Amino acid sequence: VFTVRTNEVKATIQPTMWGIFFEDINLGADGGLYAELVKNRSFEFDNALMGWKEQKKEGAVGSLVVNNLAVFDKANRRYIHLESKTEAGYGLSNEGFRGMGIKKDNGYDFSVWARRPAGSKVTLKVELVGSQGAVIGEATVVPEGHDWKKYAVSFKASVTDPKAHLNVWLNGMGAVDLDMISLFPQDTWKQRPGGLRADMVQLLADMKPGFLRFPGGCIVEGRNIDERFQWKKTIGKVEDRDLLINRWNVEFKHRLTPDYYQSFGLGFFEYFQLCEDIGAAPLPILNCGMACQFNTGEVVPLDQLDPFVDDALDLIEFANGPVNSEWGKKRAEMGHPAPFNMKMLGVGNENWGPLYIERLKVFTKAIKAKYPEIEIVNSSGTDPNGDRFDYLNRELRAMNADIIDEHYYRAPKWFLDNAKRYDSYNRKGPKIFAGEYAAQSVNIASPDNKNNWQCALAEAAFMTGLERNADVVVMASYAPLFAHAEGWQWTPDLIWVDNLRSYGTANYQVQKLFSVNKGSVVVPMLFGNEAAAGQKGLYGSASLDKRTNELILKVVNTLGKAQDADFIIEGAKGSRGTLTELSSNKLDQVNSFEEPLAIAPEQKAVQVKGNKLDISLKPYSVNVIRIKVS
């Protein structure tokens, strides 16, 4: 029997409690959320022609050469020079990111920067070609003169095809220079030109996330300092954004993704805009002057940190500053004069040791001096039980840090064993952000890991412990978020996509269920005199939703048998409610492209009789009960 003390408020649940961690890993951005279909559109990959192939029709003669302006402070220095010496047909094709996912009757926007040398009469024929070789969409572009100019045409596709490609032919004889060759679907999120994949954003919006952390992850740190993420290079006109090799373009767990780069078409402005769209508080994380310690581990000398600290201060101005401030003006010029209302900033990701603490202190001093209202999210390294963690925890406490970002990639058992992790946590001092977690079915980031029900169930049990301790734990997010089925480096992941499809895993269903059933305050749910944390394999938490006057009970049955759960709800006087269940008899059950909703919520009515609610919990189930209370 569980006793629920509806009149005893234990903690306030922060609006940020359940959120999203985004990183450009597993083709999360380019090839994923960022809907650009052309790979290496500006020829800036290390291999300038990666993704591109010369095309010649029978008898055609032509040539291509990649030009590099060699102006080293300029982004996008390369362009391609094409020359057709016959009428027969000479051009280029682009393979897309694992092909191009094309939808019948959808509109496509093609654009290109082009210039034509004097005397040349060539025009461009653009063709979308399906996997069977048929042309499924086409358009013509007529470059007009000797100066660089952007040309845009739109056309409809006649067929759905997950593996199309793009041809750009020169019509007639002559030469042309091309750059930023781009193709976007028109059905992007909010139909924004050059925008994001709508199905992927919709899955995020459906979670009603409290926050969105971006852009990572290790990607923030980079393989070395030169290749760190620099937010200032990701704003402004897309053609002026400086492409970067992706930190996950390394051999990782015997997998290599050599074509993984960041075009930054999804840059910091777009991240803030996404947060606003889906109602999530923005949580950017910045490099703290340290490269990934699992990689080169380079650091910036303490006396050289100023540009890094300036990046942090300028980011706050970019997000929140008035339109007449230097960086607020740039935000306004990009179409958003209103502030983005950023309240938190992360400094460093998974950085550790004295090297981190001494850099963090420099950032903290500068940020708090200018923006005392900004809460700083601090790294706790990678091992929630190890010495590094203990050291950081001590140091961060001594600094009176705002929020500590803890990461747990562990076996399902760890999550069950740690459901009480914060029950006796020191209430004075820093709050906790469970910033990256995911139960690993095999081993950390093993390519054999599965997003199975056993892992999702263990995460749900752990999450009841986070919610119960909402006075300490103010934010939590599963990680990583997205993975492309043909381009991933790390598994498990919350949402899987291919070129046309996407689905939420069992873990996604758990995250969403908790998030859309977030209460406002925690009330005790006791098993005897103790928190419900593992007795008879049951884990639970209770909260009140003050907006709707509902009691929300979350109960996880981790055993493979049905169990009766009887609740005595203090103060309840009989009312109807709902029970939403996620369950499977099989711990190895997964959702998939073929069966995206194999594990999905089912709802039924429940009845409180007097102050009693008796329900039967299915084997291996996550249950959310909502009941009206006065």
Closest CB 247 distance from ligand AHR, rounded Å: 8
Which residue has the closest beta carbon to ligand AHR? 217
CA distances to 262, 409, 451, 584 from 438, rounded to whole Å, are: 25, 5, 9, 19
For 531, left (φ over 0), alpha (ψ -120 to 50), or beta? beta
Query: For the chain, how many helices (H) and strands (E)?
Result: 10, 36
23/467 with CB nearer ligand AHR: 23
304/385 with CB nearer ligand AHR: 385
Catalytic annotation present for 594:
no
346/465 with CB nearer ligand AHR: 346
> H or E segment at 577?
strand 576-583
- DSSP output for 268-310: HHHHHHHHHHHT-EEEEEE--SB--TTTT--B--GGG-HHHHH
Closest CB 221 distance from ligand AHR, rounded Å: 8
Closest CB 483 distance from ligand AHR, rounded Å: 10
Q: What is the 3-state secondary structure (H, E, C) of 447-484?
A: CCCCCCHHHHHHHHHHHHHHHHCCCCEEEEEECCCEEE
436/581 with CB nearer ligand AHR: 436
217/524 with CB nearer ligand AHR: 217
CA distances to 64, 79, 121, 343, 602 from 118, rounded to whole Å, are: 18, 18, 9, 54, 67
- DSSP output for 204-247: HHHT--SEEEES-SHHHH-SSGGGS--GGGGSS-GGGS--EE-T
Q: What is the amino acid identity at position 585?
A: N
2/490 with CB nearer ligand AHR: 490
Rg (CA), the chain: 26
Query: Would you tell me which residues interact with ligand AHR (CB under 6 A)?
Result: 23, 25, 216-218, 349-350, 382, 407, 436, 479-480, 490
Closest CB 236 distance from ligand AHR, rounded Å: 26
Q: CA-to-CA distance for 590 and 441, rounded, in angstroms?
A: 12
Q: CA-to-CA distance for 352 and 286, rounded, in angstroms?
A: 15
Closest CB 507 distance from ligand AHR, rounded Å: 13
Write the DSSP symbol of residue 618.
P
Closest CB 308 distance from ligand AHR, rounded Å: 19
**Is the distance from CB of 21 to CB of 217 less than 8 angstroms?**
yes
Residue 340: which residues within 8 A CB-CB, separation 6 or more?
A: 272, 275, 276, 282, 319, 320, 331
490/567 with CB nearer ligand AHR: 490
| Alpha carbon 190 to its chain's center | 18
Closest CB 352 distance from ligand AHR, rounded Å: 12
Q: CA-to-CA distance for 53 and 64, rounded, in angstroms?
A: 10
| Alpha carbon 574 to its chain's center | 42
Q: CA-to-CA distance for 509 and 492, rounded, in angstroms?
A: 14
21/155 with CB nearer ligand AHR: 21
Active-site choice (298, 317, 350, 581): 350
Closest CB 434 distance from ligand AHR, rounded Å: 13
Query: Annotated catalytic sites, by residue?
Result: 350
